[in-house]
Amino acid sequence: MKLDNLKEKKILILGFGKEGRDNFKFLRKLFPKKVIGIADQKKFPVSNFQFPNVKWYFGKNYLKALKDYDVIIKSPGIPVHLPEIKNAFKKRKVISQTEIFLENCPGKIIGITGTKGKSTTASLIYQILKRGKVKAHLIGNIGKPVLSVLFKTTPDRVYVYELSSHQLYNLKKSPQIAVLLNIYPEHLDYYRSFREYVQAKANIARWQTRKDYLIFNSGDKIVKKIAKKSKAQKIPFKGKDYAQNFEAAKRVAKIFKIPEKTIKKAIKEFKPLPHRLELVGTFKGITFYNDALSTIPEATVAAMEKIGDRVETIMLGGFERKINFGNLAKKILKSKVKNVVLFPTTGKKIWKEMIKETKKTKKKLPQHFLVNNMREAYQKRKNLSSLYCFSQF
């Protein structure tokens, strides 16, 4: 939505977390005297926020306010299938800060998405562009909040924007340069089906024109189908696991005519992001890798392949997102992993999948430990082995 169209609208900010507060700062600067609604399920003490011209809707009935507003700026984390929100979507009331940015930014936007690897790829693209003297900015989940930079945007600047499926949901505009890495089952506790999740991801390319570019992983069947429907100029790449991040970044760099020498130097000096197969160190003879942001089984499998047979103990578990752990179970049983430390809630589910797999293959199960927290897991260290890798789902 164009900013001019917001002038006469009654606006509600839905969700008052990090992004919601960024939305409020932006709107207050844009419309200093406008009365703005703020709604959130959490009961914030209103006395903590001494803002003029604000209507507060906190607590369990926060969604009742939706019917009284023309425009609802929804934060990504709020479920899309609640009846009141579904009704607001039908009436075309719901927008997002991503939509506001894409509609109003005069500069060039590089949007990056994928089930895994988008943060690393966005950071890598940003580093390469900066080294290539491009006026680049890293924004979104991994950079600055997007609306905080919108007032300073200029046509000569480039904005590298990591985009989640939640941010892409219901979007009606795509970035000029879209990077689509991969799609695996994820967030199935949020979407009604995997198909709906795929449709959200597809929005990164759905509204592109023939002047735009789509850089896509041709080795991913779902990504390839999405690319086939795009009107943009298509630039394919193939890459497995971590290699795809670098391959995608190289293709973006070529669009900006950055010399090969500069690209290679930027890649060589690039430091992996925290919690992504991060070597924490060695303590009392145990080497620890933190791969906590491997939030899908495919990412954990990739991490195991990268480290190799040195992994003897692996810690797994986390939130229930209705993910299938069959392939992960197969990988663990084929590997030289001796010990599996399992956390709630999905730890038991992973172990059951491994038991089921052994009935088919007759492979020996590793030793397993069901724990409630990291303290309990660490206490097991004397009985375990020399290398830990931790992933969380």
The tokens 């970044």 sit on which residue? 249
**What is the pLDDT at residue 385?**
52
Phi, psi dihedrals of residue 34, rounded to the nearest 5°: -70, 140
Which phi and psi (to 5°) does residue 91 adopt?
Answer: -85, 5
Widest pairwise Cα distance in the chain: 71
Question: Given the structure tokens 């005519």, which residue do they identify?
Answer: 257
Cis before 345 (ω within 30): yes
Output the pLDDT for position 393. 57
Closest CA to 393 of 330, 323, 340, 290: 323
Domains of the chain: 8-95 (3.40.50.720), 98-269 (3.40.1190.10), 278-391 (3.90.190.20)
Three-state secondary structure along the chain? CCHHHHCCCCEEEECCCHHHHHHHHHHHHHCCCCCEEEEECCCCCHHHCCCCCEEEEECCCHHHHHHHCCEEEECCCCCCCCHHHHHHHHCCCEECHHHHHHHHCCCEEEEEECCCCHHHHHHHHHHHHHHCCCCEEEEECCCECHHHHHCCCCCCCEEEEECCHHHHCCCCCCCCEEEECCCCCCCCCCCCCHHHHHHHHHHHHHCCCCCCEEEEECCCHHHHHHHHHCCCEEEEECCCCCHHHHHHHHHHHHHCCCCHHHHHHHHHHCCCCCCCCEEEEEECCEEEEEECCCCCHHHHHHHHHHHHHHCCEEEEECCCCCCCCHHHHHHHHHCCCCEEEEECCCHHHHHHHHHHHHHHHCCCCCEEEECCCHHHHHHCHHHCCCEEEEECC
Which residue, chain included where needed, has tokens 């290699």?
243
Using alpha carbons only, give the angle 77, 82, 88 rounded to the nearest 5 degrees: 95
CA dihedral 157, 105, 151, 163 (to 10 degrees): -90
Place of tokens 């906190």: 58
Cα separation, 43 vs 45, whole angstroms: 6
Q: What region, left, alpha or beta, does residue 172 occupy, with left being phi > 0 and alpha being psi -120 to 50 degrees?
A: alpha
104 token code pair: 């109003």
CA dihedral sign of residues 199, 76, 183, 322 = negative
**What pLDDT sits at residue 374?**
82
Rounded distance between C-alpha atoms, residue 314 and residue 303, angstroms: 11
pLDDT tens for the chain, residues 1 to 393: 899 999 999 999 999 998 999 999 999 999 999 999 999 999 887 777 778 899 999 999 999 999 999 999 999 989 999 999 999 999 999 999 999 999 999 999 999 999 999 999 999 999 999 999 999 999 987 877 899 899 999 999 999 999 999 999 999 999 999 999 999 998 888 999 999 999 999 999 999 999 999 999 999 999 999 999 999 999 999 987 778 999 999 999 999 999 999 999 999 999 877 777 888 888 777 788 888 878 889 889 988 888 888 888 899 998 888 889 999 999 999 999 999 999 999 999 999 999 999 998 888 999 999 999 888 887 775 656 555 566 655
Nearest alpha-carbon partner for 286 in 333, 328, 339: 339
Rounded alpha-carbon distances, angstroms, from residue 77 to 18, 86, 258, 303, 387? 11, 15, 37, 27, 35
Q: Which residue has the tokens 């209705």?
A: 322
